[in-house]
Structure 1
């Protein structure tokens, strides 16, 4: 047989062992030499193509690649279509561009590294003059690996080349800008921690065709990402975890690798620009309760604070996250703060009205008097209002009431005359009687005048008692709102500090 067969010196030991085993078996079965050579040739051709360069020059190497590899770029580089090709994947986070809470997306820049082997491809480094060459990406079969959470077009710069070494190993490294969907939990904003996933897998090929293999571990990716991270903005990369999974559908299963990227928001910007100014305004409104409403126009001061707080919220509205699913706790804090400011303004208007117009009010309802003056007064550490002794004026000199329960009032004659003239007569004039003595007539006139005086004095003291009750109610309500302010501020500070500590501890 005049045919010659050229062996490549860089064949792997496994391939040589396989060929030797086949030769031994064929020899033991006394196969003819022609059949033996043909069988070995078919075996070697089925396992791969060894490049034979005519000279150690790039031109010779690329001629061989064009002849034995580039023409087969449309076919998956495996010995048999029943065998899956292993795609090793790893990446590095080089930039965190931001998080859009309203659109629920995460924008990052990654360096994606894909590696796979072309079955049977090899060449001798000395014979061809290179152990690794860069070849155009379009000349090779490239796996269709995509990120399942993609929400926008990849606008990163294109890299047209990949590395190919003399053992058939392909190294594909390229940057990608990823705008991925991420379910954001912003209830604890600005002390929130977000977990976003990036799922790498084939778009079309089943697990029988492409199998995903994990490259670097999550900790290795995290350490490398922190070293090369180019952005130092609002978000901080805290952890990366990896999960191998298989997506099962009716037609087949897909091999996937899911990476979980854990990000923590840097809250200092929002603490300085939102929380501290808001706490300052709330504290100023709290100390405004120390102003006496009877001597100072407290309502104008509180109205100025409300207007300032409203303008502050309008200016800082762009810093607050907006989502339709969850309301951040900080938004609740601002809403309650504004509600307390408005409530304190209404309460100030009520107290001012009591100070100047309480004498015109009707008597305090019994339920309101019991609720405010006997229960709320004790809660806010004010002594409950005691019942005062009733002031009466009696015309009966034989009255047996003790003198301690009555109060004597000196009223001048001109006062009595004016009161008697202003007061309508209590009774209709009696029928004409026989003439009496002048002293008895004067006593009857004096009796009518004293009755009128008694009615006016009782009305005056009744109005004074009603006014005192309304003023006491105003004082109690003012003290209750002052206590609610203190409790709200203390609870807010405790909540903020607790969330901050818990966030740093988990990070």
Structure 2
């Protein structure tokens, strides 16, 4: 009998109490009700099955041993207790919130705290007292920032602390135990929720199988890792050089500010265990406590407390610069180069259309990435303006080609167009005076007239004075008496030749003038093309400078 307590010292405090009870006072009835009615009240009810089995076994042993408990009987009782303890241990393993066997002062402290504890009541001494809840958040990882859905998925470490006046004790009375850890459903928990929660599968943290640590002064500390999906309003005006501020607002859903207030454990959320994200850089993680009075339409002006953590994020723009912005700039530059292609070249028009379609593809990519918002990002504005410039360039190319085709009508340029475009603007565009060629042609036309015979009578007088004969190429002499008939025929022939020669000269002058007009219209097309090139470069450069200045002025 002296060795029996040492043999059972590892069976647990409740088994020892049950054994003491079995030695002294066995119930007359073996029913569970009768056994529980006489069992010491500080023995957990979970030992009821074990006590019943031991009671029945003890009666059998008592009858067998003629009322004298032997070492064999006691050993048998020990084996029964061990088997029962292992069985109950397996049952306890299945549920994290079933009773945990404790020993010594730890068990006494547990029963001291929770035998008469009510988890449904707010842990304050007076009903009018206001409970203070502290809130702390540590950011460990940004899982995803979905621009299209405007949601933030992040991994957090949540910490809450409050004073429970019903969970206080003196450590000296319980073996200097200053803390005790129990499952969270055993204690009152504040109904703290995330206001911006958009996770349809989230049912609250109070239902999770977590633990709380209770200090001897009644301070309850609750810590748990959590993955949250929160809404986050994104301002993509400066994409991809934008900064965002996502708010995580934690507060009670039922308890008003007259019952519960909140404060942050620190001025900033913790970033000690943060894992860097490839796309976003954390700028700050501020914490502020608020007391918001909701209007009469909501709850008749009732205040509600919350702690709001503001997460400042800056986008890492390297990926978008090399894969989106630089190709757009390159296409804009190539479009300017097309102005140096021949004006009447059809490939120039088709190449410009290809560049415009490429910009449309980039615009579609930007649309797929960004959310549907009334705020157009600067890169989107830049792409759209560039597309407008490219369309303008194509329209001007078609116009210039039409100007070149105006040479078919062989119409001269108006004098004011020639003076302004070919003379003055051409000099401004460093193309020289393009109206000189036309003035040279007009001067040549005024002096290009052929006369075969100035006066046919001069030839007649000369021949008559010399009394000679005229050789007409027909190898016969013409006498002066027949000269007048010859003179008439010769005059008519020479006039016909002169008329034909002048007709040929008129045709030549017409073709020469036609070529001059063609050159004149082509010169006008070149001047217009140069003007459109300068306009394109100026507008594209202004858009680029405006885009760069706005992105550089982005705060953060």
Paired residue for 1:149?
196
Aligned residues between the structures = 411
Query: Per-residue CA shift, 1:335-370, capped at 9, x if unaligned?
Result: 333343444445445555655773346555778667
Task: Note if contact 1:93-1:111 (Cα within 8 Å) is conserved in structure 2.
Answer: yes
Paired residue for 2:140?
94
Please give the secondary structure, in 1, of the residue aligned with 2:290: strand
- CA RMSD of the aligned region, Å? 3.7
Paired residue for 1:262?
312
Please give the secondary structure, in 2, of the residue aligned with 1:123: coil
Paired residue for 2:525?
474
Please give the secondary structure, in 1, of the residue aligned with 2:376: coil
CA–CA distance in structure 2, aligned partners of residues 368 and 125 of structure 1: 105
Provide structure 1 residue ranges, at least 5 long, that are not aligned to the other structure: 1-53, 393-402, 413-435
Paired residue for 2:282?
237
Paired residue for 1:42?
none
Paired residue for 2:291?
246
Paired residue for 1:321?
370
1:76 to 122, 139, 144: 122
CA–CA distance in structure 1, aligned partners of residues 143 and 444 of structure 2: 86
Give the CA deviation at 1:321: 1.4
Give the CA deviation at 1:173: 1.5
Q: 1:339 to 1:409 in 2, by over 3 A?
A: farther
Paired residue for 1:65?
113
Q: 1:147 to 1:444 in 2, by over 3 A?
A: same
Give the CA deviation at 1:502: 3.8
Q: 1:445 to 1:159 in 2, by over 3 A?
A: farther
CA–CA distance in structure 1, aligned partners of residues 292 and 451 of structure 2: 101
Query: Per-residue CA shift, 1:267-288, capped at 9, x if unaligned?
Result: 0110111112222333333334
CA–CA distance in structure 2, aligned partners of residues 437 and 346 of structure 1: 66
Task: Note if contact 1:85-1:210 (Cα within 8 Å) is conserved in structure 2.
Answer: yes
Paired residue for 2:213?
163
Paired residue for 1:115?
161
Q: 1:209 to 1:367 in 2, by over 3 A?
A: farther
Task: Note if contact 1:359-1:466 (Cα within 8 Å) is conserved in structure 2.
Answer: no
Paired residue for 1:135?
182
Task: Note if contact 2:162-2:220 (Cα within 8 Å) is conserved in structure 1.
Answer: yes
- Determine if the alignment matches structure 1 residue 331 to structure 2 residue 380: yes
Query: Per-residue CA shift, 1:4-35, capped at 9, x if unaligned?
Result: xxxxxxxxxxxxxxxxxxxxxxxxxxxxxxxx
Q: 1:167 to 1:461 in 2, by over 3 A?
A: same
1:228 to 273, 292, 297: 273
Task: Note if contact 1:56-1:126 (Cα within 8 Å) is conserved in structure 2.
Answer: no
Task: Note if contact 2:393-2:536 (Cα within 8 Å) is conserved in structure 1.
Answer: no
Please give the secondary structure, in 2, of the residue aligned with 1:177: strand
CA–CA distance in structure 1, aligned partners of residues 521 and 532 of structure 2: 17
Q: 1:318 to 1:327 in 2, by over 3 A?
A: closer
Q: 1:170 to 1:409 in 2, by over 3 A?
A: farther
Provide structure 2 residue ranges, at least 5 long, that are not aligned to the other structure: 1-101, 453-486
CA–CA distance in structure 1, aligned partners of residues 334 and 323 of structure 2: 17
Q: What is the TM-score with the length of structure 1 in the denominator?
A: 0.69
Give the CA deviation at 1:386: 3.2
Q: 1:440 to 1:166 in 2, by over 3 A?
A: same
Give the CA deviation at 1:447: 7.5
CA–CA distance in structure 2, aligned partners of residues 404 and 374 of structure 1: 21
Give the CA deviation at 1:135: 1.5
Q: 1:294 to 1:135 in 2, by over 3 A?
A: same
Query: Per-residue CA shift, 1:72-96, capped at 9, x if unaligned?
Result: 1111111111111111112111222
Comparing 303-312 with 114-123, which one deviates more in the overlay? 303-312
- Determine if the alignment matches structure 1 residue 406 to structure 2 residue 446: yes
Paired residue for 2:35?
none
Q: 1:269 to 1:442 in 2, by over 3 A?
A: same
CA–CA distance in structure 2, aligned partners of residues 228 and 411 of structure 1: 106
CA–CA distance in structure 2, aligned partners of residues 341 and 333 of structure 1: 12
CA–CA distance in structure 2, aligned partners of residues 361 and 136 of structure 1: 99
Please give the secondary structure, in 1, of the residue aligned with 2:439: coil
Comparing 59-68 with 298-307, which one deviates more in the overlay? 298-307
Q: Which one has the largest radius of gyration?
A: 2
